[in-house]
A = this chain, B = another copy of it.
Amino acid sequence: MTAPLPTSTNGAITVLAGGIGAARFLAGLLATVEAERVTAIYNVGDDFEWHGLHVSPDIDSITYTLAGVQGALGWGIEGDTFVTLEALRDLGGDAWFNIGDRDLATHLRRTALLRGGATLAEATSELARARGLRLTMLPVTNDPHPTVVVTDEGELDFQVYFVQRRAADAVRAVRFPRAAVARPAPGVIEALRDAEVLVIAPSNPLVSIDPLLAVPGVRQAIEASSARRVAISPIIGGAAVKGPAAGMLRSMGHEVSAFGVARIYRDLIDVFVLDEVDRALAPAVEALGLAVVVTDTMMTPPERGHALAATVLEAARA
């Protein structure tokens, strides 16, 4: 009997998502399967208040990427202008976080929806619909659940560490001070428990995926899930494709490699996907008790995410 094509998988696919790496993987996935089958559970640890507005960097990266308007640098909207930000700087306001004029509309709309009583999940859904997206996107929680980075300079809000200080501080620990009282958003536990395929996107394990796992019930739902569980390494050839993952893994005592990431996820997954350049690490990952898929995991240009998504689904069926 021939194995069915990966696209014939008809169950639900749930993706644990950070920012741009997850966004590109999801774009590939949506080129492969119907959007109605896909649920992204995304990180809210990077969310912060900017001049009274609720900014959600991870979900915006995902939404903008899927809508085809993502800025080339991995944030904001392509071709955006910065009239308001410049005027804000002239008024003496904090302008270290780059928010363009079109991008700003997203934060205004989200804030208006939240002030009007919507949950973060509802606001996200409304913004996704306005951009024509049909997948389900759930914040891991509707509650405040910020990521705090512990450095030699003290504890820093995530965006202060990441943007204002350009991720230059050695990270000693990552804290989720509100995790204990955060409740999974409606649908999150079900999407983890009932999925046919569960994917940990190639996102930062420490500040994108760990905040998801820190919400009570999430880790247990993944452990108990009957889904085929697959993680994709965000580390290729000992470096992060984007962002501070490599330095952060190192300063927090992890091995900076696909193997180091596999070891972090070993109790949560069945299959680990690593890049061709890391083929030599496959035996060590297999020795952790995981199935290994070696493939091309770089998603530049973004079209290569289609092939990665198809490979991941195929691996999940194997």
A contacts, CB < 8 Å to B:
49, 51-54, 81, 83-85, 87-88, 90-94, 101-102, 104-106, 108-109, 111-112, 114-115, 126-127, 130-131
Contacts A51-B109, A52-B53, A88-B108 known; list 4 others, CB within 8 Å.
A51-B53, A51-B112, A51-B115, A84-B104
Which 4 residue pairs are nearest across A and B when measured between Cβ atoms?
A: A87-B105, A52-B111, A83-B101, A51-B108
Q: Are A93 and B115 in contact (CB under 8 A)?
A: no
Report the separation of the CA atoms of residues A1 and B84 in the bound assembly, to the nearest whole angstrom: 56
Residues of A contacting B: mostly: helix
| Set of chain B residues within 8 Å of A85, measured between Cβ atoms | 105
Q: Are A108 and B84 in contact (CB under 8 A)?
A: yes
Q: How far is the CB of A137 from chain B (nearest CB, A)?
A: 15
Report the separation of the CA atoms of residues A54 and B115 in the bound assembly, to the nearest whole angstrom: 13
Residue of B whose beta carbon sits closest to that of A92: B130
| Set of chain B residues within 8 Å of A54, measured between Cβ atoms | 52
Report the separation of the CA atoms of residues A102 and B105 in the bound assembly, to the nearest whole angstrom: 14
Given A83-B101, A101-B84, residue A90 in contact with residue B51 (CB < 8 A):
no
Q: Are B49 and A92 in contact (CB under 8 A)?
A: no
